[in-house]
Amino acid sequence: MPSSATAPAWRRALEAALPSGRVVADPDILESHRYDHASLVDAGVPAVLVRARSTAEVQAVMRVAHEHRVPVVPRGAGSGLAGGANAIDGCIVLSLAAMNRILAVDPAAMIAVVEPGVINAELGRAVKTHGLFYPPDPASYEMCTIGGNVATNAGGLCCVKYGVTRESVLGLEVVLADGSLLRCGSATIKSVAGYDLTRLFIGAEGTLGVVTQVTLRLRPKPPPAATLAAFFPSMAAAGEAIERIVHDRTPALLEIMDRATLRAVEAWKPMELDTDAAAMLIARSDAADPGAEIERFAAICDAAGASELAHSDDEAEGEMLMAARRLCYPALERMGSTLLDDVAVPISRIPEMFAATEAIAARFGLTIGNFGHAGDGNLHPTIVFDARDPDSLARTRAAFDALVEDALRLGGTVTGEHGVGLLKRGVLAQEIGDAGVHVHKAIKQALDPRGILNPGKLVPD
């Protein structure tokens, strides 16, 4: 795009510093890069979009932005659910999506080195050919990027056994606010050299630096999994089964759906689910003898009072059992506009969080389907509402706040895997306290003294 004599000095400097075509100002393209997938949060109008293709180009953008004090909003696939990638007025939206190369896979060391725009599922398929496995698997794994996963410390179904993204990140290359380049971490499993700067940037949502390269830990590819589905007449019984399973041994996956979600899924895609059950629990094993472990989980569920059990060590049948869980969110979306929450509570408090969700749904006259990762207490109560009705919107906002408050009351957290972004910035201080707010601000000031990196996100007021 040619420079314009009437453009601001920073934009002319940006165009001069980058190859032709990298800086985009087309209004239709800018519109498609204003938002992520979050509901009920605002977005501004960016001045330009930059489609970076290398670390050097990201450095060039940050040098110009730092010199001219122009805000920069880093962006991957835009699949986030907290408004962390939403633009602000007059900003540079810095897209890393085109930096999508898998730079190296070392089967012997069990590591991969990737650019931030690599799609999560594509990495998984690439390392599978080496007999390896990349565990983090967000629901959006077919579209979300590794850079975005790092920015939000994303989770997924496998977190109960393999942890969230931070457990798979060994090292980072990060462009700082002034354009300087930082390399932190290493390619080794163990490293305690200095402050843990790698983890500082994981989950920072682009407020401290722009990740341009990631060194990832891979695992040996597990054997074919066995799967269990169990229905329970009460949430207390389901909670008892959850506690017994995770205390007995760590499943590869342990998911839960409540009655409202079961009914939404069955109404859309009939599977003969027990829609009178209070909850459905799905467990999966990828142990050396997965069939035996699933039999053990089935016995635990039976002892806890399960009303119905189905399990299989056949992969195809296992996927059929998993189908209901994968349909939770789209089934609720069919019922109206949705606002998906992301809270986590101690495993022992899961039944109480489900009870609180039901009470909030009744209090505000809303449908709230609750489902999530039972093995680590990370739940996704999803409010169904009418976005055209101001009263419905008001009740939805109030219900969302009440869900977060109840999660904190039960000793939990305001976000388990989706991040803070704009959606929960206002409530973060309730969780981290005054000292936590002070530390957040001090770190932000130290690394981004001009406040240009993703301003208005994550860091509390």
| Model pLDDT, residue 315 | 86
pLDDT of 7 reads: 86
Non-local CB neighbours of 43 within 8 Å, separated by 6+ positions: 34, 35, 83, 86, 87, 88
pTM metric for this prediction: 0.94
Task: Give the C-alpha separation, 173 to 434, whole Å.
Answer: 31
Pairing of strands 72-75, 92-95: parallel
Backbone φ and ψ for 254, nearest 5 degrees, come out as -150, 105
Residue 4's pLDDT is 59
Taking residue 279's Cβ as centre, other Cβ atoms within 10 Å add up to: 30
Here the tokens at position 319 are 């996927």
296, 232 Cβ separation under 8 angstroms: no
Question: In the CATH hierarchy, which top-level class contains the domain 226-409?
Answer: alpha beta
Residue type, 90: G
Using an 8 Å Cβ cutoff, are 43 and 63 in contact? no
Give residue 139's pLDDT.
87
Per-residue pLDDT of the chain (461 residues; tens, 9 = 90+): 444 567 899 999 999 999 999 999 999 999 999 999 998 999 999 999 999 999 999 999 999 999 999 999 999 999 999 999 999 999 999 999 999 999 999 999 999 999 999 999 999 999 999 999 999 999 899 999 999 999 999 998 999 999 999 999 999 999 999 999 999 999 998 889 999 999 999 999 999 999 999 999 999 999 999 999 999 999 999 999 999 999 998 999 999 999 999 999 999 999 999 999 999 999 999 999 999 999 999 999 999 999 999 999 998 888 888 999 999 999 999 999 999 999 999 999 999 999 999 999 999 999 999 999 999 999 999 999 999 999 999 999 999 999 999 999 999 999 999 999 999 999 999 999 999 999 999 999 999 999 999 999 999 87
CA distance 181 to 108: 28
Interatomic CA distance for residues 431 and 134, integer angstroms: 31
Strands 253-258 and 337-340: unpaired
Six token digits for residue 52: 């970076």
| Model pLDDT, residue 5 | 66
Torsion angles phi and psi, residue 216, rounded to 5: -115, 145
| Residue 52 near residue 95, CB atoms below 8 Å | yes
Nearest CA-CA partner of 280 in 242, 316, 249: 242
What's 426's DSSP letter? H
The answer to whether domain 9-95 has CATH 3.40.1010.10 is no
**pLDDT value of residue 461:** 78
- Residue 1 is predicted with a pLDDT of 42
Rounded to an integer, what distance in angstroms lies between the CA atom of residue 224 and that of residue 386? 42
**What fold does the segment set 102-220 form as a domain?**
3.30.465
- Only one residue has tokens 């060194």, namely 215
